Structure 1
Amino acid sequence: MFVGRETELAALAAAWARTPAAMLVVGEAGIGKSRLVAEFTTTVGALVAEGGADPGSTAYAPFVPVLRRLVREYGPELVPGGGRWGLARLLPELGEADEQPELGRARLFEEVLLLVERAAERRPLVLVLEDLHWADQASRDLLAFLLRNLMRPGILVVVTSREPLRLHGAQTLRVPPLRPEEVARMLGRSDVALIVARSEGNPLFVEALADAGTTTPASLRELLLAGAERLGRASLDVLRAAAVAGRRTPHEVLRAVAGLDDLALDEALRPIVRVRLLLVDGDGYVFRHTLIRDAVYDDLLPGERRRLHARCAEAWPDLAADHWHAAGDRPRAYAAARRARRWERVLELWEQVPAGERAGVLELAARDALHAGDAVRAEELASRALDETGDPLRAAHLLELRAGVRDLLGEESLNDLREAVRIAPREARLMGALAGTLHWNGQDDEARALAHQARALGDTRSLVTLAALIALEGDLDAASALFTEARAAASDDDTRLVAYASEADVLEAAGEHARAEEVARRGMAQARRVGMARSRGAHIAANLAEPLCSLGRWKEAREVVQTALALDPPPIHRAWLLLVLGTVAVCEGSLKEAAGIVGQARPLMRGRSRGYDSCLEPDLLEGRIALAEGDLERAALLADHALTAHDLTLSRRYAWPLLVVAAQAGRIRRAPDGISTIGRVQKAHRSTFEAECGGSWEPAVAAWRAVGQPYALGWALVRAAEQDPDRADGPLREAASIAARLGAEPLRREVEAAAAVIRVSLRPGHGLSSREREVLGLVAEGLSNRQIAERLFISARTSGVHVSNIIAKLGVASRVEAAAVARRTGLL
């Protein structure tokens, strides 16, 4: 079954479109070169003439089938003399060759060229020459001659080879392995992971392995090991050592395992490389295909394998655990895996781990999994470590570790931290971690008291919590000073990065978008320097994308988010990034994209990690989507959920925005008691809510202008214009300018709708003079040029000039369109 290869087929089609042309199709045995060419030739209305080379074939053998096909199709009369001077030497059916030694090869080449070009005059022609890596020199010379001299359109030469060839004017097309999904389509099944891994996407190998399980079919082994039977004893020994070492082996390791000096090793390797069982790869050697290595390895006796694996373990410390394990030496395998922090191998050898060390091993494994970004595995290992330990202090620190992991997974972490502090009440770091989580959950009084205690005991991260609490009180300068102190005093990179993330967050919440951007950029640079771009750096990326979104720099925000998402960050960081992306999509009018983003983000925020601010974000985004779609019923349901299922008094950032959604959906006319209003942004949201409930829009306009959020300002200007139509011109024109600058499609539509209702021109006067406006009004009444002239006491010619100028300035094609534009934009 032919699957995939769309790119390669397109490349061949492009070559066919620009004939005369040549294409060299390169790929390993079985990769599908011939199948690709055959599929292509079925799509072209051309005569296809095929030939190919074989090992040990005679001179010009690849061309004989091609020439015979052309002669049988069109007859020998296409070539002067019937081909008797040259072609008859290759095609006996042409008769006895007329020997002219002085012409010889040159005449043959000319006759082949003439035959090909004259055949192409009758019908477009595709010449296919297969397996040219086996071709003799004479055949290669003839091909080079043709490629240099073919001038006639309608001729495409397609050459296949296992290795690159130097062909004049030929474009090289490398055939890649099939992708896993293509292998699945080829076999008509989904369980193809093992086949993909063993075949490396080679279609021939895929078919051979489809029903073979973990074995390699004998017929395939013969193909893979072609050339091995000619190797000497020393070369075979080196090949077997390489197979035990792995797919790729450094030169130094192979020398040690083979037990040869450099000269002897080189002599043994040359025949192996010559038959392409091994390829030179930098400072080492790699098997041309995984299945070759498997075939060699399968031929080893059990004793040979164990001995060679033991040698590899001694020569290659990085992989010693694997080789000792394969050699059957479990104690040495465990010791090597422990040294290399190969925790999955350690867990396989669990019986080797002393009972008193098991909790510590699991804790180290959990921390390494967390650092690698596998939060799910880290939580599992931390929980296992808790079950193993009998040490209260270690249990407390394991609870802190698990709390941090659960935080990344979007799960509740407060209970673990409370239990950790109960077990170890004087541990400053645990107290600081609990204080930070209490703050995120809106329990500020307890958070403040605990943070001061932790600070007194020397905990640095508590400074971050205290700085965030000071920012809530409105003293941003004091908060920034404390964030700076926290970074300077921190003994670990994570605390420094948390300080950057928290400072950027509180600055953004306060409406200090430019300062938030600057802090976040410094934090991201630091995360990259210390190798934490995927974990804490993704957190800070969300803190950078937010102010960019607020400032209307949506393209930049998208780039920041996409770059961070490409690193596959932990779930909660991915969720925050997605929510910023969803907000941008709503502002731009990409509502289908925004809805998909909510669907991705919700499962990542499984609990109330990071408090109410985070768990309310999906509700807010979904409510805004519903309003943008005009689905007031769904918006009302979401608002009801937010008002009844959540305590909005605990949210510092999303309570007022959610109340705005509820007001727009008609579900609320008065704010619940106890909703805090901290900072300029929240004051602007509150002013918007009060205006939605019947108050004046002027305070909201002033608030958003002071905050510097253009998109929110644009909407407030539209509502202010609707509220005061007599003074709508300026606000609507400003809102139109904002919408155009941002690329905000929903705002643009809203502005134009309001302008049509209020009858406001969004382009002041369209450059019309007072007389032209007067004439336009009469045009709108349906008067002719003569009637307009009579009404205004001017000549009909002057009237016509005015009408022509009006049509040109409005950019319309007729009087009727001019009248329609005038009414729609408020010119009349």
Structure 2
Amino acid sequence: MFVGRRAELAALAGAWARTPGAALVVGEAGIGKSRLVAEFTRQVDALVVAGGADPGNVAYAAFVPVLRRLVRAYGPELVPGGGRHGLARLLPELGEAGEHRDLGRARLFEEALLLVERAAERRPLVLVLEDLHWADRAGRDLLAFLLRNLTRPGPLIVATSREPLRLPGATVIRVPPLATDDVAALLGPDADPGEVARIAARSEGNPLFVEALAEAGGAAARTPASLRELLLAGAERLGRASLDVLRVAAVAGRSTPHEVLRSVAGLDDLALDDALRPVVSARLLLVDGDAYVFRHALIRDAVYEDLLPGERRRLHARCAEAWPEQAADHWYAAGDRRRAFDAAWRAGRWERVLDLWDPAHPAPADHAEVLALAARDALHAGDAVRAEELATRALGEVGDDPLRAARLLELRVAIRDLLGEDGLDDLRLAVRLAPRESRLIGALATTLYWNGQDAEARAHATAALALGDTPSLVTLAALTALDGDLDAAATLYARARASAPDDDTLLISYAGEADVLEAAGEHAGAEAAARRGLAQAEHLGMVRSRGAHLASNLGETLVSLGRHQEARAVLDAALALDPPPIHRAWVLLVRGAVALLDGEPDAAEDLLGQARPLMRGRSRGYDSCLEPDLLEAKLALARADTGRAGRLVEHVLTEHDLTLSRRYAWPLLVVAARLGRIHVAPAGIATTGLVQRAHRATFEAECGGSWAAAVAAWRAVGQPYALAQALVRAAGQDRAAAGDSLREAAAIAERIGSPPLRREVAAAAAAARVSLAGDPGLSPRELEVLRLVAEGLSNRQIAERLFISARTSGVHVSNILAKLGVASRVEAAALARRDGVV
């Protein structure tokens, strides 16, 4: 019976009216969370699919039944490739999962999102996820990803938990204890009022305890020995066959398929039905499709704990024989470690295999191989730290097998790459161990390129290409662009795309081309390449991983073009997808740069703080390493914190080799020169392309050179913000041209919509006494009159000051008002002060 909970049902109905969205139902064990959700789903016209978490489950366990039900209902064709790239890692019936450099997690998330959204397009959809307090980290990450990215009406996620969880945008519904009136309604109209009061007090309004106390009878309800006795009171009234089936279900797990229950119980269909009917009628077990679930986990625990140790072991062994998918856990619980090991091996439960490893027992592979397999699983589940630990342990055990060691090093490089760490040393060693492995040589070439070691990068890329590693074309294209031959580079990028062996290489080629074009000042071409890549990433289901990389490329180019609002939209959309660490870091840094340019230093500080922990070591080479340093230095200058900026510049100059950076050496040297920390650039700093030449011209101007040269350099690049800043500095160096320079800078600031740039220009105009309104056509005499008007003089006083007649003075004032387009002397004076005329 369902009683009360009107406010909670109304809250769920409100969440349903606002799809897409989520509701988190929170309450203690037995408080009625599941019953509330069941009543809600009974009332809605929707497809309801349910899953749940359980202690000790494998990754994504709460989602497997949900995703499997949707695939069965609508078919795997709802997602690109029929789900074989990502969902197949959870649903083996879709086929063998493909291998990808991002190791599947990004594909899995995006395919799950597409499956839910497209299923909801066919019929309104409610996803019920029970007991999320037991959910694994990977499952919670997937849930958070779905909540951030479900945008189309139709799906509602309803989750239950014993404790509050941080779920983005979820409506939190706390289930309170039942009032005494609700307890009376639950017990029925014939319940004795005194008994109702005693049960309400003893149960503290927990519906599960209310029912257990009532089922135990009056005397037992008054003096229960323990909660377990209360929970088992209903079970003790069952017949022997029904109780045996209930015990089998308790051993089997939270949810037991009908076929497993029949096999373990040893009953035919009719006998099983007869045994189950009293159990279901007592609501100890509930029917869930073709399986049976306990009404509450506490009931299962109580039944399980009531078993004798020998009974548990025997039932676990029978469950293992009847249920191959769960055999490893059941053999383990039965105390048969050898059979548990064999079952875990067959199921690919590598962490369990490691737990059960016994050197005395033969195995299909050695311990190092299992460590490597477990490392891949940990990475799939989102635990890159555990993956790195396992891969490192495996490396220590492979002995004298150079090829295996090289491949393990490659795996660790992929893991550390997602952690934001440099893999250059591992790759060098891997290539020494396996000098004919073209993929390893190509990866080393790419990392050398990131670290500014161009000659060695070119040699390795050429060697890898000769051995058949076509992705090395991307590295050769980037190196060719550095030589200044963008046409030849474009040809190489096109070849790389035409021969790309996988989707990842295809998208890397677009990102690489966008990056080199942006660095060369070819902003239009960079924008086009990034947008083409983003479209491909969306088509391939990789918008979260490589798509985020391309979003950072596009955002950077849009900032260069002065289109800040567009950049914000692109970058915020990428961040909402919760990309992998290194890709997220790049997006955060560009987003931080936009915030700083738009006068939001606190937001920029926060974004920088989020990015730095994701970029450990020399992440992706010197340019990526120096990018957060540059943003922090600019942030310190914006806040007039010269001490912080100076300390950062000192760190960069002493701890980093700026000759290895192609993008950020000159901008950092500009900051150092502005602070007076350096007056001569270190030898060997590369100056490739229009953008770097403009930064060098700015550095030279900061050191006493020509700001006009810096203006000309930025004008050639076409970056309006940098051009406006150079124009402001040029105005201070050339007073005769200050008016034109500052008015152009003011126009740029208005077009971009940057408050800091507006303030910078206005301050310079006031200091130079320059009007920013353009030339109103005032004659020298009229300018003299306007200054006197601004001082508050009357026409007669102006006439006396200038030795002219009062009539002539009045004519001048009338002409001034007309030319300025104002209606009064007060407005004219205010305009003169604002524009620096006075």
For 1:137 and 1:330, the matched residues in 2 are separated by 47
Pick closer, same or farther for the CA change 1:437–1:279 going to 2, 3 Å: same
Match of 2:680 in 1: 670
Match of 2:344 in 1: 337
Determine whether 1:320 maps to 2:330: no
For 2:228 and 2:362, the matched residues in 1 are separated by 41
RMSD, aligned α-carbons: 4.4
Determine whether 1:382 maps to 2:383: no
- Counterparts of 1:645-724 in structure 2, within 5 Å, are 645-724=655-734
Q: Report SS of the residue matched to 1:460.
A: coil
Pick closer, same or farther for the CA change 1:343–1:560 going to 2, 3 Å: farther
Match of 1:625 in 2: 635
Deviations 1:491-513 (A, max 9, x none): 34443343333233222222233
- Counterparts of 1:114-133 in structure 2, within 5 Å, are 131-132=181-182
- Any stretches of 5+ residues in structure 1 without a counterpart? 1-6, 15-24, 34-127, 140-161, 163-176, 178-198, 203-216
For 2:570 and 2:454, the matched residues in 1 are separated by 32
Match of 1:135 in 2: 185
Amino acid at match of 2:300: R
Determine whether 1:292 maps to 2:299: yes
Identity across the alignment (%): 71
- Counterparts of 1:40-51 in structure 2, within 5 Å, are none
Match of 2:789 in 1: 779
Deviations 1:584-621 (A, max 9, x none): 22212222332344344334333224222122222211
Contact 1:379 1:406 in 2 (8 A): yes
Question: How far did residue 314 of structure 1 move?
Answer: 4.2
Q: Report SS of the residue matched to 2:793.
A: coil
| 2:482 aligns with one of 469, 472, 476 | 472
For 1:660 and 1:342, the matched residues in 2 are separated by 55
**Higher mean displacement: 714-723 or 527-536:** 527-536
For 2:508 and 2:809, the matched residues in 1 are separated by 77
Pick closer, same or farther for the CA change 1:794–1:231 going to 2, 3 Å: farther
For 1:767 and 1:491, the matched residues in 2 are separated by 66
Contact 1:588 1:745 in 2 (8 A): yes
Determine whether 1:573 maps to 2:583: yes
For 2:576 and 2:228, the matched residues in 1 are separated by 40
Bigger Rg over Cα:
1
**Higher mean displacement: 681-690 or 726-735:** 726-735
Deviations 1:525-556 (A, max 9, x none): 55566665555444444334322333334444
Determine whether 1:359 maps to 2:368: yes
Determine whether 1:515 maps to 2:565: no
Q: How many residues align?
A: 642
Determine whether 1:241 maps to 2:291: no
Pick closer, same or farther for the CA change 1:280–1:723 going to 2, 3 Å: farther
Contact 1:772 1:806 in 2 (8 A): no
Determine whether 1:505 maps to 2:515: yes
Q: Report SS of the residue matched to 2:705.
A: coil
Pick closer, same or farther for the CA change 1:267–1:734 going to 2, 3 Å: farther
Amino acid at match of 1:727: A
Match of 2:506 in 1: 496
For 1:402 and 1:735, the matched residues in 2 are separated by 50
- Counterparts of 1:630-649 in structure 2, within 5 Å, are 630-649=640-659
Contact 1:759 1:824 in 2 (8 A): no
Determine whether 1:732 maps to 2:742: yes
Amino acid at match of 1:374: D
For 2:188 and 2:812, the matched residues in 1 are separated by 86
Pick closer, same or farther for the CA change 1:731–1:323 going to 2, 3 Å: farther
Contact 1:807 1:815 in 2 (8 A): no
Pick closer, same or farther for the CA change 1:619–1:725 going to 2, 3 Å: same
Amino acid at match of 2:656: H
| 1:302 aligns with one of 309, 314, 319 | 309
Pick closer, same or farther for the CA change 1:729–1:260 going to 2, 3 Å: farther
- Any stretches of 5+ residues in structure 2 without a counterpart? 1-6, 15-24, 34-177, 190-199, 201-205, 210-223
Deviations 1:446-502 (A, max 9, x none): 221222122111122322221111111122232233223223333344433433332
Deviations 1:236-279 (A, max 9, x none): 44433333333334455445545556666566556555555444
**Higher mean displacement: 239-248 or 750-759:** 239-248
Contact 1:714 1:734 in 2 (8 A): yes
Contact 1:373 1:570 in 2 (8 A): no
Pick closer, same or farther for the CA change 1:268–1:687 going to 2, 3 Å: farther
Pick closer, same or farther for the CA change 1:304–1:803 going to 2, 3 Å: farther
For 1:361 and 1:787, the matched residues in 2 are separated by 97
| 1:348 aligns with one of 352, 355, 372 | 355
Amino acid at match of 1:701: V
Contact 1:789 1:799 in 2 (8 A): no
Amino acid at match of 1:382: A
Amino acid at match of 2:659: T
Amino acid at match of 1:135: A
Match of 2:601 in 1: 591
Pick closer, same or farther for the CA change 1:282–1:793 going to 2, 3 Å: farther
For 2:794 and 2:180, the matched residues in 1 are separated by 78
Determine whether 1:369 maps to 2:378: yes
For 2:250 and 2:570, the matched residues in 1 are separated by 44
Determine whether 1:611 maps to 2:621: yes
For 2:314 and 2:451, the matched residues in 1 are separated by 60
TM-score, normalised to structure 2, is 0.67
Contact 2:604 2:635 in 1 (8 A): yes
Pick closer, same or farther for the CA change 1:608–1:28 going to 2, 3 Å: closer
For 1:769 and 1:138, the matched residues in 2 are separated by 98
Match of 1:545 in 2: 555
For 2:188 and 2:644, the matched residues in 1 are separated by 77
Question: How far did residue 387 of structure 1 move?
Answer: 1.7
Contact 2:231 2:298 in 1 (8 A): yes
Contact 2:526 2:557 in 1 (8 A): yes
Deviations 1:711-762 (A, max 9, x none): 2222223223333343334443443343344342221210111121122333
Pick closer, same or farther for the CA change 1:338–1:760 going to 2, 3 Å: farther
TM-score, normalised to structure 1, is 0.67
Match of 2:470 in 1: 460
Amino acid at match of 2:384: A
Deviations 1:671-719 (A, max 9, x none): 2222111122212212222222233333433433443333222222322
Contact 1:767 1:809 in 2 (8 A): no
Q: Report SS of the residue matched to 1:135.
A: helix
| 1:436 aligns with one of 433, 438, 446 | 446
**Higher mean displacement: 782-791 or 389-398:** 782-791
Contact 2:30 2:298 in 1 (8 A): no
Q: Report SS of the residue matched to 2:396.
A: helix
Determine whether 1:397 maps to 2:403: no
Question: How far did residue 224 of structure 1 move?
Answer: 5.0
Question: How far did residue 666 of structure 1 move?
Answer: 1.5
Pick closer, same or farther for the CA change 1:303–1:718 going to 2, 3 Å: same
Q: Report SS of the residue matched to 2:562.
A: coil
Q: Which has the higher contact order (CA 8 A, sep 6+)?
A: 2
Amino acid at match of 2:646: A
Question: How far did residue 28 of structure 1 move?
Answer: 7.8
For 1:798 and 1:231, the matched residues in 2 are separated by 110
